[in-house]
Chains A and B, each alone.
Chain A
Amino acid sequence: MTFDWSVVWQHREALAIGTATTVLLTVATMLIAVPCGIIVAVARLYAWAPVRAAATAYVELFRNLPLILVVYWAFYVLPIMTGLGLSPLATGLAALALNVTAYNAETFRAGINSIRRGQVEAAMALGMSRAQALRRVVVPQALRRILPVFASTWVSLFKDTSLVSVIAVSELAYVAMQIRAQTYRVLEMLTAMAAIYWLLGYPQAKLVDWIQRKYAVTE
């Protein structure tokens, strides 16, 4: 067996662009999925019953589907539903956002529910309105509890961006597998791909552990 690792260095620019796309996808998805997740969570908790049911159905559906299927589905269905010719990147972003929004909504809902009802009652007894009680008492505490879960979701999302490679979004996994197909340096490219994901993901996993230790709920 002879391995030629120079192939990795030769394609450093393509790999760097792929890595940047992976990071960009992660950040962009979260930027969409946090506000949308808050909206869905609030809809599930406080909205008019039919809206609440729709929000619950959405969350349960997308939490119970493999992401790779959502990616394919978005690729074929979104252009027809919206009538727009979306780029693979936009389609991949939409699929990831649909998925992560459902998870975030569940996280936010659980966070708000984890604050004992008595606290809202006490705040209202002190003369706060329900909105004030929510904003000043519930949300600040809920945020601290959400943070560890949110951090795990972040790392999962970072890894899940690799799945949009199946619809030819040129992120890290797709780029590495393209180079593999062109050069036939299978082991070298796949190992390089794994190594780059590891380099980016390992510190994130460690950070999650730290956040979970720091913000562990103790009652």
Chain B
Amino acid sequence: MRILFLFCALFCAADCFAAVGCDLNDPDRDINRLFPGSSGYKTVYLSVKTPEMLARIEKRLGDKFHGLYENIGVPYTLYEIYRDKEKIGYVHGVNQKGDYGGIQVFLALDPAGTVKAFYIQKLTSRTAKELRSKEFAAQFEGLSLKNFRDYDPLSGKAAPVKNPASQPGGDFLHVLRAVKKNLILMDEFVFSK
């Protein structure tokens, strides 16, 4: 069995490189900033294991996973945050296709799944300044998955936060889709276990 696994690992290696995850650029610094008072973190790698799980996530999201880079093979990096030995929360990020480039949206969540901090690590957009502003990030604090349950990422209806940019839609909608996807994945990976 072990030999079989080794062979599978060797011959499937090429496919493993087919998808990219979303990691913090500098976890030590970023986690200190997102979780002041934390004393350490543990990195866990997760994935959408089955087509059934993917279908459930897509149904909850209200949109299909699409494009070259949003697929079942994407690995997700979860940072479990500790204060001494106590787990005080999580940091998790997702990639999202934007109008002009990739968007990386990270959420810092407490153990109940409530957003403590929102951080866009990468964004190439004409509305980047507004979407990366502190005021926009502050709108997410205290929200959880239940606030996004009715949000429709296709039409943009029932958005739980206000668009900070003067022009409608665009990357604002992409960011909200990323946040909803992030919260659903966290629920599937952690909170509903």
Q: Do A and B come from one complex?
A: no
**Which residues of A pack against B, CB within 8 Å?**
none
